[in-house]
Amino acid sequence: MYVPVDADRLRADVKANAAFGRVETDDPEAHARTNRTGTEANQAVRDRLVERLRDAGLDVTVDAVGNVLGTWTPASADPDAAPVVSGSHLDSVPEGGIFDGPLGVYAALEAVRAMRDAGVEPDRPVGVVSFTEEEGATFGNGLLGSTVATGETALDEALALTNDDGDPLGEALDRIGYRSGGESEGDAVDAATPTGADGVATTLDPASWDAFYELHVEQDTTLEETGAAAGVVTTITGITHCEATIEGEANHAGATAMDGRTDALAAASEFVLDVEAAANEVVETASPSAVGTVGSLSVEPNATNVVPGRVAAEVDVRDVEPESMEAIVDAAQDSLARLERERGVETEFERPFDVAPTPMSDRLREAAREAAVVADQEAIDLHSGAAHDAMRVARVTDASLLFAPSRDGISHNPREWTDWDDCAAATQVLAGAVARVAVDEG
């Protein structure tokens, strides 16, 4: 089933979206935006999406955590049938790019418009979703809207999360009018807002969806290097965040002899290198896709003339193979034990965030590959090294993640770029896949 998309319409939507929270730079090739959940820019970007959804004939709902859903239910569709939904997110990291998230949302909308324009008669409703706070740049650790919708995080817990200014998410969403059941509901929150049996506003229910597709920029160079138009993701990487604390003894940098020190930062430097070495060993012997990173160090008292007394290190470990992740985490703990023996420091180790690798639906992947063939676009299989809402939705229903090429693999950066023709080609694959599944051909 070939469903031609309107590349100019898609481009206009993504460019218009980029204006909200735009950040001026001196680089003519940079396109920066900062769109944090709960800000005026975030309200504006949501308002525009709601307007575009309604212009396309979709019914709009906003749930209790601010997730926005537009639903197209043509006469051909059974309104009670499980819908096919596609989308992503509109929030950004500070000074992020213009494609990360918004391409997936507006490609989903373009898929619906293309189906409508082509006279496709789906057997089930088709939805377009924008999840709240995917990036985790303002509230929580990321994937927040989809995590709440799939029941992995309690609604009250999510709404109580605070930003750097101490403002709770619930109040921030109220302020911009994007929380159903909140104190200041905006025009986007209408009578179709999801409610529980007691009439209290609740969240979207992805478990009731037949399928979910998410299109995203790759954030790597595999598609660019192969020349493929789209990537069909096999597995989304697992992610573990670990926190290591190394306690030494703060002392005068000039009056403390070198052999009389318990330097926490010197010990931490060995820990950093041990984690890197462990990840490299796993890559060489077990899984080429494994990565391990110590991305944050907090040094106390952090003064030039004081031997560091305490260091807190944060570790990020990822892979599509859980055994490889465990090997790196075990090596990190072994490193801390060695440092205690050899350097006399005291250490603690915690693992507060742990997400297993998530395979994508074979049924939906096959539909995407067939759509690529029909559209005369090359699609290849690959894995995702970054987390996406699709990994949360996959816990409750069939989900698939598709990639569009990224220039030089740059993302979370003003120089993030996906050529407009590449945006359209990947959206063409998405539209065909959604159409196939929505008419029960998947």
- Who's near 1: CB < 8 A, 6+ residues apart? 120, 371, 374, 432, 435, 436, 439, 441
20 with 107, same domain: the answer is yes
CA angle 315, 222, 442 (to 5 degrees): 100
267 with 209, same domain: the answer is no
Predicted pLDDT at 196: 58
Extract the tokens encoding 68: 């926005």
Which residue, among 300, 302, 294, has the nearest Cα to 269 in the 3D structure? 294
172 with 305, same domain: the answer is no
| Dist. CA 248–CA 229, nearest whole Å | 53
345 with 373, same domain: the answer is no
142 with 114, same domain: the answer is yes
pLDDT over 90 percentage in the chain:
90
170 with 47, same domain: the answer is yes
Number of folded domains that form the chain: 2
Mean pLDDT, the chain, integer = 94
- Who's near 352: CB < 8 A, 6+ residues apart? 241, 242, 243
Between 12-21, 133-142, 321-330, the lowest mean confidence (pLDDT) is in 133-142
pTM score, two decimals? 0.89
- Residue 65 belongs to some domain of the structure: yes
Q: pLDDT confidence of 186, banded at 50, 70, 90? A: low
Preceding peptide of 405 cis, ω within 30°: no
| Dist. CA 18–CA 415, nearest whole Å | 13
Predicted pLDDT at 442: 42
Q: pLDDT confidence of 152, banded at 50, 70, 90? A: very high
- Who's near 301: CB < 8 A, 6+ residues apart? 250, 308, 309
| Dist. CA 232–CA 225, nearest whole Å | 15
Predicted pLDDT at 200: 54
CA distances to 1, 109, 139, 378 from 114, in Å: 12, 9, 35, 20
| Dist. CA 4–CA 1, nearest whole Å | 10
Q: Tell me the CATH number at 276.
A: 3.30.70.360
Mean pLDDT of the region 267-276: 98
Between 181-195, 203-217, 413-427, the lowest mean confidence (pLDDT) is in 181-195
What domain range is 169 assigned to? 7-236+357-438
Q: What is the pLDDT of residues 48-99, one digit of tens each?
A: 999 999 999 999 999 999 999 999 999 999 999 999 999 999 999 999 999 9
- pLDDT for 271 beyond 90: yes
Q: pLDDT confidence of 197, banded at 50, 70, 90? A: low
